[in-house]
Structure 1
Amino acid sequence: MFPKFDKIGMPLLGVAAGVLFVLEAKYKLRRRVRSKPKRLLENASVAAAALPALRLVLIPGMYAAARWANNRQFGLLPWLKLPKAAHYTLGFLLLDYGNYFWHMLMHRSHLLWRFHNVHHSDLDLDLSSAWRFHVGENFASVPYRGGVIALLGVPAPLVLFYEVIFEGCTAFHHSNLRLPYKLEKQLCRVMVTPRMHGIHHSIVRQETDSNYAVIFSWWDRLHQTLRLNVPQDAVTIGVPAYRDPAEQSPVHLFRMPFKKQRPWKLPDGTVPQRAKLPEPTQLLP
């Protein structure tokens, strides 16, 4: 039981989601290709299995890993013996750095991609996409995220605090919210923004294989996986081999990881490409 997480964190996330839902409807970043009500129903159906797994399995698993490490003074942070403020700050940053690698691994592991593909095969990108994750992906993340927490020796309360920020930022950068360009240009120097993450959901493979960060964009800059120079009007959302709206049903999405994965090609056999653009770290509108 996590009273503060449930009584403070979850309501705050609910308010943030409500605000983003209204704002993205008023200030659209990308044009939709499908009916919004139908997509909301489909994505909500997928989330109906994924979110309970998040709350009842993933979060308790991560918290248990932290408690195990804390009780034994195990991990990097206890070994460093930093002042409390530095201990928590470094712990927060390292949690986010670990999730950068987890996201990259989901794209590079054929097994994990089967589950993550459910998230990427959405033909539009908006707030509802932030919760469109296969339940199997949440189960698969427990050993990795719990293991990272234990190896770092992150304080257990920090795990819950980070998760609230993690979920809030996930909702924000998946939203279809058009921020003022000059503001977002500065904001993405520090954190992941809707334009930045929209490129990650492109049907062009080189663009999907970029922008893995969740909260801080620094990790993509550090590992040279940052790509900002694609105009949003030029981005087609989705996975090229999964363009049929009829395959967006909850039943099909649930079964997707257990079927043979299609090659990264459009139905006509062509591979989506884009001419090389200069200055990949320069955000375009």
Structure 2
Amino acid sequence: MKFLFPKFDKVGMPLLGMVAATLFVLETKRQLRKRTRPRSKRLIENGAVAAASLPALRLVLLPFMYAAASWADKRGFGLMHWLNFPRWARYLAGFVALDYSNYLWHVLLHKSDLLWRFHNVHHIDLDLDLSTAWRFHVGENIASVPYRSGFNALLGVPAPLVLFYEVIFEGCTAFHHTNLRLPFQVERRLCNILVTPRMHGIHHSIVARETNSNFSVIFSCWDRLHRTLRLNVPQDEITIGVPSYRDPAEQSPKNLFLLPFKEQRPWKLPDGSVPERNELPLKELLLP
């Protein structure tokens, strides 16, 4: 199995680093939602989670995904081979198909009780910003290996596309998790194509029907296709997190690592109430 990807490591990773640094500065200067906790503490907490999950992504997930695509390529296996797609079409259609597969994976993370235990580590963050983009439990990254590798093989995407897509995937994940206030009219148009900070902020709401919406990663069309799009929530009315995990003391790196192995709490606030919001009209219209 191949583990060295010079272009990914020497070009893709530094590019992602520059994107992250730029977004960090921008979200500092143009804050979208008010913070509820000190940024420094969250950087330590989220950085500790990322210290385990990012190596798993690079050293386990990426090699397996690349190996699956290479295996399919050499054997003419996969949907795009069976349909006799020319190589250029396999790149174009493959990029779109990979993004759709990750929409489905994200839905599965929310629907599966087992997978949610790991994904919940990402969602109980009490604020949402760039650091949340890498706050994924190492178990979630490892659990995604058979799914994402299997989809690469079944689709028959070119192996180099796996690396290219992952760079764009990580960059877009960083972008839409930021606490960056874009000009509203710009974002209203942009979210017709891409997932944006306001759109994804709704996904991190403590209101259940809002959390179970906006699953897309790069292209927002998948939520439109499956009618899981929800844009009609004012940003200043969103409370970030999971209702049953509101205690900042539970955000310690040790507790975050152990969280999937503990009993999961029902979707209720500490006082026993369930967060709700009156449904506004025009569900697909982005609000400020």
Which residue does 2:70 correspond to in 1? 67
**CA deviation after TM superposition for structure 1 residue 85, in Å:** 2.4
Given candidates 216, 219, 235, the residue that maps to 2:219 is: 216
Which residue does 1:156 correspond to in 2? 159
Given candidates 170, 175, 186, the residue that maps to 2:178 is: 175
Which residue does 1:237 correspond to in 2? 240
**CA deviation after TM superposition for structure 1 residue 87, in Å:** 1.8
Percent identity, aligned pairs only? Answer: 72
Which residue does 2:61 correspond to in 1? 58
**CA deviation after TM superposition for structure 1 residue 208, in Å:** 0.2
**CA deviation after TM superposition for structure 1 residue 237, in Å:** 0.2
String of CA shifts for 1:15-36, please: whole Å, max 9, x gaps: 0000000000000000000000
Alpha-carbon distance between aligned partners in 1 of 2:80 and 2:134, rounded to the nearest angstrom = 31
**CA deviation after TM superposition for structure 1 residue 276, in Å:** 1.2
Alpha-carbon distance between aligned partners in 2 of 1:232 and 1:80, rounded to the nearest angstrom = 44
Cα RMSD (Å) of the superposition?
0.5
**CA deviation after TM superposition for structure 1 residue 277, in Å:** 1.1
Q: TM-score, normalising length from structure 2?
A: 0.98
Alpha-carbon distance between aligned partners in 1 of 2:89 and 2:149, rounded to the nearest angstrom = 22
Which residue does 1:24 correspond to in 2? 27
String of CA shifts for 1:228-273, please: whole Å, max 9, x gaps: 0001001000000000000000000000000000000000000000
**CA deviation after TM superposition for structure 1 residue 192, in Å:** 0.2
Alpha-carbon distance between aligned partners in 1 of 2:150 and 2:85, rounded to the nearest angstrom = 21
Q: Is 1:262–2:265 an aligned residue pair?
A: yes
**CA deviation after TM superposition for structure 1 residue 60, in Å:** 0.4
**CA deviation after TM superposition for structure 1 residue 84, in Å:** 2.7
Given candidates 80, 84, 98, the residue that maps to 2:101 is: 98
Q: Is 1:14–2:21 an aligned residue pair?
A: no
- SS of alignment partner, residue 271 of structure 2: coil
String of CA shifts for 1:171-227, please: whole Å, max 9, x gaps: 000000000000000000001000000000000000000000000000000000000
Q: TM-score, normalising length from structure 1?
A: 0.99
Alpha-carbon distance between aligned partners in 2 of 1:77 and 1:18, rounded to the nearest angstrom = 37
Alpha-carbon distance between aligned partners in 2 of 1:95 and 1:229, rounded to the nearest angstrom = 28
Structure 1 outlier segments of 4+, above 3 Å? none
**CA deviation after TM superposition for structure 1 residue 77, in Å:** 0.7
Alpha-carbon distance between aligned partners in 1 of 2:16 and 2:83, rounded to the nearest angstrom = 33
Alpha-carbon distance between aligned partners in 2 of 1:198 and 1:264, rounded to the nearest angstrom = 18
Alpha-carbon distance between aligned partners in 1 of 2:90 and 2:148, rounded to the nearest angstrom = 19
- SS of alignment partner, residue 284 of structure 1: coil
After TM superposition, the structure 1 = structure 2 runs for residues 82-121 of structure 1, keeping only pairs within 5 Å, are 82-121=85-124
